[in-house]
Structure 1
Amino acid sequence: MLSRTVNVPSPSAIALALALTLPALLVGCQRPQEAGADASKSAAKPALLIAPEDLTQVGTSGLVGGPVLTGSVQAARRADLRAEVAAMVLQVAKDNGETVRQGEVIVRLDSTAIRDNLTSAEEALRAASQSLEQTERVLQRQKTLNQQGMTSMQALEDAELRRNAAQSEVAAARARVVSARQQMTRTEVRAPFDGVVSERKVSVGDTVQIGREIVKVIDPRSMRFEGQVSADRLGELKLGQAVSLRVNGFGDSEFAAKLSRIDAAANATTRQVEVAAQFADAAKAPQVAGLYAEGRVDSASQAALVLPEGAVTRQGDATSVWRIEGDTLRKVAVQLGARDDRRGQVVVLGGLKAGDWVLRAPSSTQAEGQKVTRVGAGAGAASAVASAR
């Protein structure tokens, strides 16, 4: 008969084995439940509130790659009126922004002292004229007496000298009168042309000296762009080229213009060249001088789909946008082309079509397939969420 030896595990070994296997069994049982909970949580992702200002539409635009111009809107016809006499300001007839007609008085200066000078000059002219008449009569008598042999040639010559001196005195007196009358007219500062007062620099009671600036007048109908361009791009410029301008204060509106002047010398410090461009439609041009403006010369343009650069999400070399498809948010990969620094736009080469709506400023909270809810303007933002109902 054969005998068999059976090894029975000790109680401590059995307890150790149970301690090692039981947690694994528990984990295996819990994983399906946790996976189901995660799926339920993803399905319950809150809807994204979308207001009109949170979206931007893919559109076609002319992306201009020509030289950039920076400057301001200025009136080609403008005048800086300065004091031509030293006097006190008595009246300011026009204020900033008011229209003026050619020859209309804008500022009136005190003319008391100048009027006295004019009166004195007129009296001096009257006296000189009387003296001239008297010397003329004396000269005629001397000529008659000389012909009769009753006076000497020396007396005749002396009479002629006195007559000539009187003529000189009359001429000088007339010049003083003309000068005084001119000074009188200079006490009234008049508009040199039809326009608008752009800057008034004096008030009633001010004392102005000769050469002090009093008022500026511009003609709003002569507005144009005056700016600078880098000398490195000078070779791309030609008179008559189309220019697309954006003016501060007019939003995204663009103004068409044509290059009308290119200076012959560059600034020695900045290496910028002064240029000017005339608005294509003067009636629609900005009517305020001094507004900052920026533009591009249409020397290399192309029509393409464009999108604001802020709508693009970047992960390494990959670029994508969040497109709205019905009531669902989708992440779409896009291929980008050239960038327009002035407009802050990029060319879309692929992934989107004209008319697509995308998030203007996406964040990290969006999720693929997330539902969206449209709200009114100002009622939401791209990052606002509401609980799904």
Structure 2
Amino acid sequence: MKTQYKIILVAVVAALAVGGKILLSHKQAPAPVSNVRPASLSVTAVTPLRVLWPQTVPAQGAIAAWQESIVSTEIGGLRIAQVLVDVGSQVKRGQELATLSQESVTANVHKQEAAVAQAKASLAQAKSDAERARVVSSSGALSEQKIQEYLIAEETAQANLASAQAALESARIDLNRTHILAPDDGVISSRTASVGTVVNAGTELFKMVRQNRLEWRAEVAAPQLGGVQAGQKAVVMLPQGGEVSGKVRMVAPTLSADTRTALVYVDLPHGSPAKAGMYAEGRLELGQREALTLPISAVVLRDGMNYVFEIGQGDLIDQRQVKTRRREGDRVEIVSGLSPQARVAATGGAFLNQGDRVNVVPDQLQNAKQ
């Protein structure tokens, strides 16, 4: 009986030992590890789209008069009698702007008229004497010397008349110069004339913007100057708001030695809200050019650099630095750093990093935009 109990006890101990080894082996066995990273974000994928965009050159510069005429006096020592226009007055070519006192000039005209009348009388007398000398020259009644004196006196009288007539014409010109006239159509931009002022010849009385024409003198850097040509469209953004469209008239033949920029002269339309003296920004439109574009939401700015997040094999993210240029609406041009066939995360780039795995979901709205 005791032998039977011993056999049973040994069997139980053996069974417990085997069971313990089995449990120990199960406890120490490591769990299987998955090498697949979970998706960090669900994103929609877009590919770059080629579109025709207007090529523009940004610029800034002053708005100035196309040509500013200085109206001054041509005769001196006279008093301003009337001033007929003021700053802002619209004037026509030949319109009277001011008048100078005419008393002394009118008296001089009368004096020269009298001198002409006297010269005419002298000429008539000289012609009569010369004619008689010619009649009697063959009879010998007058000496040859006397005849020559009469003929010379006639020529002298004719010269004196011509001189008197020229002096009269000069006096009349001076009389006309007492009327200060507009040299062209335009608007008065400055006035220094005041009634009662005695002016000298050449004294500035008015400044005027010829033909009301203004221009934008855009400053363009040398690398961007090659595509700018006369006739191209330009858009000027005024300081007070709003835009004015103009046309490039000419490009300066030289660059500034100080700024290394060239002036591009842009004609602005008549009646625009632009004013001479404004400083404005704008752009020159050089025509259309193909651009590789992405939605703006696909480009993320980090540390001063632009990045996009390309979706590679296995939906793993490849962070790529790109260079951008123009923006139109909700799209931006990609200049370099990205293949045209690349798949890019359209949104959520701010939460993505190199090597992240994403879950790509379809987006019908995004596909429609492309």
Q: Superposed, which structure 2 residues align to 1:228-243 within 5 Å?
A: 228-243=219-234
Please give the alpha-carbon distance, in whole angstroms, between the structure 2 residues aligned to 1:158 and 1:220. 61
Per-residue deviation, 1:304: 8.4
Deviation digits for residues 94-124 of structure 1 (CA, Å, limit 9, x no counterpart): 1111222332211111222222222222222
Match of 1:187 in 2: 178
Residue 229 to residue 83, structure 1, CA distance change in 2 (3 Å): farther
Match of 1:294 in 2: 281
Matched, 1:258 2:222: no
For normalisation by structure 1, the TM-score amounts to 0.58
* Unaligned 5+ runs, structure 2: 1-52, 307-320, 335-345, 349-370
Residue 74 of structure 1 contacts residue 226 of structure 1 at CA under 8 Å; is this kept in 2? Answer: no
Question: 1:127 is matched with which residue: 86, 103, 118?
Answer: 118
Per-residue deviation, 1:213: 1.4
- Percent identity of equivalent pairs: 26
Q: Superposed, which structure 2 residues align to 1:301-340 within 5 Å?
A: 316=303, 338=324
Residue 207 to residue 108, structure 1, CA distance change in 2 (3 Å): same
* Unaligned 5+ runs, structure 1: 1-61, 308-312, 320-334, 353-389
Match of 2:162 in 1: 171
Residue 83 of structure 1 contacts residue 213 of structure 1 at CA under 8 Å; is this kept in 2? Answer: yes
For normalisation by structure 2, the TM-score amounts to 0.61
Per-residue deviation, 1:137: 0.7
Matched residue type, 2:71 = L
Per-residue deviation, 1:189: 0.8
Matched residue type, 1:288 = K
Residue 238 of structure 2 contacts residue 274 of structure 2 at CA under 8 Å; is this kept in 1? Answer: no
Q: Name the larger-Rg structure.
A: 2
Secondary structure at the residue paired with 2:193?
coil
Residue 72 of structure 2 contacts residue 203 of structure 2 at CA under 8 Å; is this kept in 1? Answer: yes
Match of 2:266 in 1: 277
Per-residue deviation, 1:142: 0.9
Residue 110 to residue 337, structure 1, CA distance change in 2 (3 Å): farther
Question: 1:93 is matched with which residue: 68, 79, 84?
Answer: 84
Match of 1:81 in 2: 71
Please give the alpha-carbon distance, in whole angstroms, between the structure 2 residues aligned to 1:95 and 1:179. 30
Deviation digits for residues 182-225 of structure 1 (CA, Å, limit 9, x no counterpart): 11111111123333222111211222221121112235553332
Residue 62 of structure 2 contacts residue 277 of structure 2 at CA under 8 Å; is this kept in 1? Answer: no
Residue 163 to residue 318, structure 1, CA distance change in 2 (3 Å): closer
Please give the alpha-carbon distance, in whole angstroms, between the structure 1 residues aligned to 2:98 and 2:295. 56
Matched, 1:199 2:190: yes
Secondary structure at the residue paired with 1:130?
helix
Aligned residues: 266
Per-residue deviation, 1:289: 2.8
Residue 245 to residue 118, structure 1, CA distance change in 2 (3 Å): same
Match of 2:129 in 1: 138
| Cα RMSD after superposing both structures | 3.7
Please give the alpha-carbon distance, in whole angstroms, between the structure 2 residues aligned to 1:83 and 1:244. 40
Please give the alpha-carbon distance, in whole angstroms, between the structure 1 residues aligned to 2:123 and 2:211. 54
Residue 242 of structure 1 contacts residue 257 of structure 1 at CA under 8 Å; is this kept in 2? Answer: yes
Please give the alpha-carbon distance, in whole angstroms, between the structure 1 residues aligned to 2:294 and 2:105. 69
